[in-house]
Amino acid sequence: MDQPRLTGIKGVKIPVSDLTASLAWYRAVLGAEPSLEFPDEDGVVRGVACTLPGLEEGLALRESPEHAAGARGFNPVIFRVPDRDAVAAWIEHLDRLGIDHSPLVEASIGYLVAFDDPDGIELHVYSDEAHGEDVAGRAGYGRAAGG
């Protein structure tokens, strides 16, 4: 039997330790707008599903301090932008908000900036534009599979 076909990614769910604080941060930084709330048995909202400007895929935040702590330093999502200039614009945006971030990085293929959410979960903004540098021999950088 053939493998069933996927048609995309519906969304990304990120664990957070404080839903109110994280939602405020994701709103300010990424323009997240809640579209659904998820209350627990006591009626306390412990999660939200959000839309992000320019994306079909959604972003969900779920209050789960133990999972947020376990995801610290991990980068579960990479946001896509067209080119180096767009990455630079994100750096300016992060600077305006006072958010610490990496410098503009020549990554495996394109350009990126990395920054942490309030729980220390790393987010990347990565360009479709390739930089053309051969970084395959550098530790931590990508290379063609099987090579």
Domain limits, the chain: 11-130
Q: How far is CA 85 from CA 46, 59, 108, 129, 147, in A?
A: 37, 25, 17, 10, 31
Indicate whether 32 pLDDT > 80: yes
Indicate whether 17 pLDDT > 90: yes
Distance of CA 72 to the CA centre of its chain: 13
CA–CA gap between residue 60 and residue 26 (Å, rounded)? 10
CA–CA gap between residue 100 and residue 118 (Å, rounded)? 11
The tally of CA atoms less than 13 A away on the side-chain side of residue 36 is 8
Residues in the chain: 147
Q: Are 39 and 45 in contact (CB under 8 A)?
A: yes
Domain 11-130, architecture per CATH: Roll (3.10)
Digit-coded pLDDT (tens) for 76-97:
999 999 999 999 999 999 999 9
**pLDDT band at 8, cuts 50/70/90?**
confident
Distance of CA 20 to the CA centre of its chain: 18
Q: How many CB atoms lie within 10 A of CB 2?
A: 4
pLDDT in the model for residue 108: 87
CA–CA gap between residue 118 and residue 73 (Å, rounded)? 11
Say if residue 134 is exposed, middle or buried (CB neighbours under 10 Å; 0-12, 13-18, 19+): exposed
